[in-house]
Amino acid sequence: MSNRHLSTAAWTVLAALTILPAGIIALDQASAAGKDLIPRDVIFGNPERAGAQISPDGKFFTFLAPRDGVMNIWIVKRGQSFDEARPLTAEKVRPIRQYYWSANGEDVLYVQDKGGDENFLLYSVSAKTGKERKLTDFQGVRVFIYAGSLSRPNELLVGINDRDKAFHDPYLLNVSTGELKKLFDNTEKYDGFVADDSLTIRFVSRATQDGGQEVFKFDNGKTEPFTKIGFEDSTTTGLAGLTSDGKTLYMTESRERNTAALVAIDLASGEKKVLAEDARADIGGTISDPVTGIVLAYAVDYLKNEWKAVDPALQADIDFLNENLKGQWAVQSQTLDNQVWIIGNDPVTGPARALTYDRKEKKLDLLYVGRPKLEGLALPEVCPVEIKSRDGLTLVSYLTLPVGSDTNGDCRPESPLPMVLNVHGGPWARDGYGYNSQSVWLADRGYATLQVNFRGSTGFGKEFTNAGDKQWGRKMHDDLLDGVNWAIAEGIAQKDKVAIYGGSYGGYATLWGITNTPEAFACGVAIVAPSNLNTLLDTIPPYWESFKEQMFRRVGDPRTEDGKALLNERSPLTYVDQIADPLLIGQGANDPRVKQAEADQIVSAMQAKNIPVTYVLYPDEGHGFARPENRTSFYAVSEAFLSQCLGGSFEPVGDDFAGSTITVPQGADAVPGLKDALAAMPKP
């Protein structure tokens, strides 16, 4: 596809940040005695290396690694030891989390925001000289990358919302010189642009008033209707890019079916060919030829991710990788000749690894292990399970048990355990199979962990996603309770020792569970959690304007009196007086999606009713906690909170507050040791 060189999805940047759980502080060191725990910083601190890429010509490897404690981009010549790598960037505060080689093979591109505000700017750094350039030098502006090109390797098609914060104007950007050329003012409010390899815009899309999409052919400003996507297919149907010759358009397609298929459309004849479909799940990732853009393979992720070939020539590669790699794998970088792949491998019961795969020689070589201190440790298995909801839906879920608790390998502990229900964010996202740092941490502390893909989750067809419409706090929550009840009935969970936690929508689910179904949970941890759905929808980021109609149809419409009433009735804030369980709330002060006011107002309401709450606030974070010092401090707090609530083991705080900006505006006194730990922090 023409945008394969720089994935639009990747460059919309971190739409689903890792949300990190909060909690309360260690009580005393004696509680950890008698058990060797995996240190928190080994699980949650900076990895030693991550994100390996290979240059288009295959001569260099790049990767992310700490430089003075902050994740930066490093480069090493292929064939040299990674110990000989040199840093390309010098970020001092916030980690670099996404980067890509430009098509010219000379510049490495990355994005960065400030303090989690999600106003991402684009930077380039020369792989040869290390010279760095800020390519979009704006204040309060967010960049999208729509396409790269092999025929114009120094240029990108980008979107910048400097004129209108809600909609991006398309620009051509020269990554070598920094020159920006606006193509036109996006007064028609297009929210998607698909270009061919010449970076000529060929298709545009925009939201409709019913929450769907309309797609147009585009020719130098002239538009022609191409297709219309109704609301019911809006999460499962869309353009997926062009081949480099511009003759074939790829789409995901759920119209006239339930799960999303991958289709190829011959633009000359209009012929549509289904390349892949699966009744269990939507077609997910693809492997494409780096030069032609032709899709060679695709993935289906139901219980586990499975790769399948479109081009029979790739079947031998898939078979080889399946036979020689444990767990899950994906291609994360390719040379232009498509002969060398960088493989990201998740062994599930071990830390992530990066390997080179020589397709001609059928040979794998290890580049590095991301967290080598985890190697050789006993890490838990993950059990994919199917749970039936009370109204007959199948809920694909993932159960993780402490090592040694399941001696016969039937995914059931020998006796019921305290359990944490970990609710994913979105809610239009999903949990999947594989190594999960939170599950590893919780299992090591003695807890079972259950992750339920409740209705509204994506990946399982449009009917499952649409079944969550206007079901916040209702059937979506029923699915979570059905998962808990299943775990209790199966002898997995102790009925009186189940905690609920999560971030974003998972934080909302936590607040809803603590306010509306307190009998089901012993405690809750809510991170960047919406507490008032009316104020949440009133303060969504301006660049979500095109998604607003969908939000209103799926959650509730604040523009109508009935809609406001529904949102009020589904807001945890409305039921504050029903809170009886221990609760911790965590928040980033710069969160553009779930504003700090969402946390402030429920904390204030609890204070007014003399209901205890502990509130942890980070002044330099947004929708999730990016800095490792903040992550580990948050886990240090949450670990003892869960120990108080569920009775598991914990590691004392130690140095885990060092370098963090953690503040506790409310409730430090309610947690033994927290106030003292805060007082002992080095002053800035």
Determine the Cα angle at 578 with ends 574 and 584, to 5°. 90
Q: In this structure, what token pair is assigned to residue 601? A: 């107002």
Neighbours of 175 (CB within 10 A): 25
Q: In this structure, what token pair is assigned to residue 152? A: 């114009």
Closest by Cα among 36, 41, 43 to 350: 43
Q: In this structure, what token pair is assigned to residue 392? A: 């007959």
Q: Name residue 333's beta-bridge partners.
A: 342
Q: Name residue 618's beta-bridge partners.
A: 588
Amino acid, single-letter form, for residue 478: D
Q: Which residue has the tokens 């004696």?
A: 30
In order of 201, 222, 224, 576, the CA distances from 219 in angstroms are 7, 5, 9, 55
Amino acid, single-letter form, for residue 216: F
User: For 326-427, where are the alpha helices, taking DSSP H only?
Assistant: none
d(CA 53, CA 62): 5
Neighbours of 679 (CB within 10 A): 8
What is the distance of C-alpha 613 from the center of its chain? 28
Q: In this structure, what token pair is assigned to residue 136? A: 């979009």
Backbone angles phi, psi at 456, to 5 degrees: 100, -25
Neighbours of 375 (CB within 10 A): 12
d(CA 350, CA 43): 11
H or E element at residue 664: strand 663-666
Q: Which residue has the tokens 């934080």?
A: 507
The secondary structure of 278-306 as a DSSP string is: -SSS-EEEEEE-TTT--EEEEEEESSSEE
Q: Which sequence positions are flagged as catalytic?
A: 504, 591, 623
Q: Which residue has the tokens 């991958």?
A: 262
Closest by Cα among 583, 584, 590, 582 to 661: 590
Q: Using H for helix, E for strand and C for coil, what is the string for 39-57?
A: CHHHHHCCCCCEEEEECCC
| Beta carbons of 172 and 157 less than 8 angstroms apart | yes
Q: In this structure, what token pair is assigned to residue 385? A: 């399970």
Closest by Cα among 45, 14, 46, 18 to 112: 14
Question: What's the alpha-carbon Rg for the chain, to the nearest Å?
Answer: 25
d(CA 536, CA 601): 12
Neighbours of 597 (CB within 10 A): 16
Neighbours of 69 (CB within 10 A): 13
Q: In this structure, what token pair is assigned to residue 528? A: 């960047």
Determine the Cα angle at 214 with ends 209 and 216, to 5°. 145
Q: 255-290 in b/e burial notation, b at 16+ Cβ within 10 A?
A: bebebbbbbbbebeeeeeeeebbbeebbbbebbbbb
In order of 47, 83, 385, 463, the CA distances from 428 in angstroms are 28, 41, 20, 13
| Beta carbons of 20 and 624 less than 8 angstroms apart | yes
**Signed CA dihedral, 660, 451, 417, 614: sign only:** positive
| Beta carbons of 430 and 418 less than 8 angstroms apart | no
Decide: helix, strand or coil at residue 604.
helix
